[in-house]
Amino acid sequence: MAGKINRVGTSRPSTASRVAAAKAARAASVDAVGGVRRADPVGEVARPESPASIAMKSLELDGAKAADLKVRVEANERALDDLQKVQSKAGDIADKAAEATPEAMSAAAGQVDQLLEEGVSIANRKDGEGDFLFGGEQAKDAPFEAKKDAAGKITEVSYRGDSGVGVDELGSGFSVTTDIPGENEGATGAIGLVKDSRTGGDLFGNLISLRDNLLASEKTAIVERDIPALKRDAEHLIQHFGEVSANQMMLDTVVALATDIQTKDGQAMSTIDKLGNIQYALHRATVDNRNFIQQDPLQPIN
């Protein structure tokens, strides 16, 4: 019997645990930003004001804009969480199909139909201003369109947005891209939400394939085609979680710095020590996330 969709071997963490680890790395960086804890602390500075301190005070950062962008990134993260649940449920269905009866496979096909509907709804979510989250630069129209047959079953999901994303400048050299295009079949640019030519992810196409193979009782096709494809979707979503975590850390850093450089009674509130901790935490957590993304899927993670 084929293995679970969202793991490779017994020594490798599941998709959920790897996502949780990425979020834990982000949480660690936020703690460091707030001065709550330090891992490998930057030494205390007991000397006259350095050029770095002067540079710190000269930063001009848009903390309000960073805070607004955090709302969007949090909406992206919630959508990714929900898409990961859709993928995981489909993986469980595919995993059980090898030993299922035709009747059970037919019932499972109906469950996949529901997952398709749910997935399209998630991918067509809007932000607080009424723009679609995952349409690229075409944010005013629903990016995904589901085509259905006479029985009301989804037979194709087409993407009507584009792969372009914007860059938000936050001042003093800080910038962030919080947009996620729904699809990207090109060789460059941001990774598509559910489909991308570079990762091999194609969640909606793979759900349709699984549904059709369940209806036809094609167990071999499910094991040889759908299970590996859904596993690629799990890895594809992990890349998004890494990007979202990096964005969260960047925005948290800008918000913290913008607060620190405000003045009170003519005295700057920022310190070299705190800046050093923020820089170190951001660097360390970003490296950790990239390591998750670049893991060889056939090698255990220590």
| Structure tokens given for 9 | 């071997």
pLDDT at residue 75 tops 90: yes
Distance CA 243, CA 280 (A): 18
Distances, alpha carbon 175 to alpha carbons 65, 94, 170, 178, 251, in Å: 11, 41, 5, 10, 9
Distance CA 33, CA 278 (A): 5
CATH code for the domain in which residue 221 is found: 1.20.1330.10
Residues 6+ apart with CB under 8 A from 141: 132, 135, 160, 161
Closest CA to 86 of 146, 21, 5, 190: 5
Q: How confident is the model at residue 262 (pLDDT cuts 50, 70, 90)?
A: low
pLDDT, mean of residues 173-202: 93
User: How many structural domains are present in the chain?
Assistant: 1
Higher pLDDT, 251 or 29: 251
Higher pLDDT, 94 or 15: 94
Q: What is the pLDDT of residues 105-137, one digit of tens each?
A: 999 999 999 999 999 999 999 988 888 999 988
Alpha helices in the chain (DSSP H): 15-33, 51-57, 63-97, 102-123, 203-215, 219-221, 227-260, 272-293
In this prediction, residue 286 carries a pLDDT of 58
38, part of any domain: no
47, part of any domain: no
pLDDT at residue 193 tops 50: yes
| Structure tokens given for 158 | 């087409």
198, part of any domain: yes
Least confidently predicted of 6-20, 116-130, 165-179: 6-20
Written as one letter, the residue type at 95 is D
Task: Specify which residues 263 forms β-bridges with.
Answer: 268
Distance CA 92, CA 111 (A): 11
pLDDT, mean of residues 22-29: 52
Least confidently predicted of 1-15, 115-129, 262-276: 1-15
The pTM assigned to this predicted structure is 0.73
Distance CA 200, CA 285 (A): 26
190, part of any domain: yes
Higher pLDDT, 38 or 210: 210
pLDDT, mean of residues 230-257: 92
In this prediction, residue 166 carries a pLDDT of 87
| Domain interval for residue 251 | 15-33+61-293
Distances, alpha carbon 227 to alpha carbons 26, 88, 137, 206, in Å: 31, 11, 33, 9
- The residue whose two tokens read 């948290």 is 252
In this prediction, residue 113 carries a pLDDT of 98
Contact call for residues 73 and 193 (beta carbons, < 8 A):
no
Distances, alpha carbon 136 to alpha carbons 72, 103, 121, 133, 164, in Å: 14, 41, 17, 8, 5
Q: How confident is the model at residue 25 (pLDDT cuts 50, 70, 90)?
A: low
Mean pLDDT of the chain, nearest integer: 78
45, part of any domain: no
210, part of any domain: yes
Phi, psi of 98 (to 5 degrees): -60, -25
In this prediction, residue 140 carries a pLDDT of 85
Percent of the chain with pLDDT over 90: 52
Q: How confident is the model at residue 47 (pLDDT cuts 50, 70, 90)?
A: very low
3, part of any domain: no
pLDDT, mean of residues 151-178: 91
159, part of any domain: yes
Alpha helices in 98-226 (DSSP H): 102-123, 203-215, 219-221
pLDDT at residue 205 tops 80: yes
